[in-house]
A and B are shown apart, each in its own frame.
Chain A
Amino acid sequence: MDCLTTYLILGALLFCIGIFGILQHNSLIGMLIAAELVLNGAAVNFMAFNMFLSKDPATGQIFTLFIMGVAAAEAAVGLSIIITVYRNFKTINADAVSELKG
């Protein structure tokens, strides 16, 4: 509970589950969900190093807040792209959307 390694392994697990999800999921929304897990794995690492090793205890928290902001922006843009893709292709299967010309 108060050991840095626990949190680092938790972050690594989240990161790897996210990678697994991105690689194996068929739909684009599933990939976006897994990307959120990857970002959170990184944020857990920031908070853990901040708690146990940092001289300045606010830095890691501020970085985590920035990660949340970037994740929110990424989710908004990604979801609007997915809605547009669905409107144009009538599917959100990542294998079916393979056409890059207009």
Chain B
Amino acid sequence: MTTTISNLIPPIMIAQAAFALMIVFTLGGAFLAVIPKNIVHNILGLCLAMFGITGVYLYLGSQFVAMMQLLIYVGAICMTFIFAILLSPPLEKEPPKRNKTKVITAAIVSGVVFLVMVNMVMSLKFEPLTDITRDWSIKTLGQLLMTRYFLVFEVISLLLAIAIIGSIMIASFVRKRN
């Protein structure tokens, strides 16, 4: 009898450990994205958080959205941020000191918002549906995008085109300051 890893550890435990790892990636990355002063560390934290969210989406059953998350956020948005910091401020300059009262106020505000949200989530009872159809395929998504959500799809593509043209216009617009 061969001993494989699934004989030693039950697969459900591996799945749970991987889920916990993804949660740790997400939250750790999110904290890294807001706490350090160096902006490059912030962006790398955002990459880590997006990678963790990709794993969470896999557990939520959608491979397609997970891959899109990885491609769009880690591949495109983080790279755009890195380009922007390469084009904007010199990094060797000392980052400005943080205002202590600002940080404390922000922590209090976000903490209160979080407590209210957790209270709300805990107080609601969600009835699980019994007759869920589990159709996660890309084919269904594509058909829905071309039929029921066609207008939204077109509006989003128009929005993206306008955003690209507009950002090129804004970035190339040089104003003389006197």
Residue contact B15 to A12, C-beta cutoff 8 Å: no
* Least CB separation from A90: chain B residue: B89
Overall SS of chain A's interface:
helix
Tell me if B30 and A17 are in contact (CB < 8 A): yes
- Main SS of chain B's interface residues? helix
Q: Name the B residues within 8 Å of A68 (CB-CB).
A: 68-69, 72-73
B130-148 interface mask toward A, CB cutoff 8 Å, 1 = contact, 0 = none? 0111111000110011000
Closest A residue by C-beta to B136:
A57
Please measure, in the bound complex, the distance between the C-alpha atom of A74 and the C-alpha atom of B132, giving whole angstroms: 34
Question: How many cross-chain pairs have Cβ atoms below 8 Å apart between A and B?
Answer: 221
* A59 CA to B173 CA, complexed, in Å: 40
Per the bound structure, the CA–CA distance linking A73 and B158 in Å amounts to 10
| Best-surrounded residue of A24, A59, A62 (most CB of chain B within 10 A) | A24
Contact indicator per residue, chain A 33-48, by CB within 8 Å of chain B (1) or not (0): 1101100100110011
Chain A residues lying within 8 Å of B144, measured Cβ to Cβ, are 58-59, 62
Give the contact-size bracket for chain A.
Answer: 35 or more
Question: A69 — which chain B residues lie within 8 A by C-beta?
Answer: 156, 159-160
Determine whether the beta carbon of A13 is less than 8 Å from that of B163: no
Q: Which of A1, A5, A34, A50 meets B34, CB within 8 Å?
A: A34
Q: Which residues of A contact B107 (CB under 8 A)?
A: 20, 24
Is there a chain B Cβ closer than 8 Å to A70's Cβ?
Answer: yes
Q: Which residues of A contact B89 (CB under 8 A)?
A: 27, 86, 91-92
| CB<8 Å pairs between A and B, sample of 14 | A4-B126, A21-B34, A26-B98, A29-B42, A29-B85, A37-B33, A37-B49, A47-B60, A54-B129, A58-B144, A61-B64, A62-B145, A72-B76, A82-B84
Which residues of B come within 8 Å of A, CB atoms? Answer: 15-16, 19, 23, 26-27, 30-31, 33-34, 39, 42-43, 46, 49-50, 53, 56-57, 59-62, 64-65, 68-69, 72-73, 76-77, 80-81, 83-85, 87-89, 95-96, 98-99, 102-103, 105-107, 109-111, 113-114, 117-118, 121-122, 126, 128-129, 131-136, 140-141, 144-145, 149, 152, 156, 159-160, 162-164, 166-168, 170-171, 173-175, 177
* Partner-B contacts on A (CB < 8 A): 1, 4-5, 7-10, 12-27, 29-30, 32-34, 36-37, 40, 43-44, 47-48, 50-59, 61-62, 64-66, 68-77, 79-84, 86-88, 91-93, 102
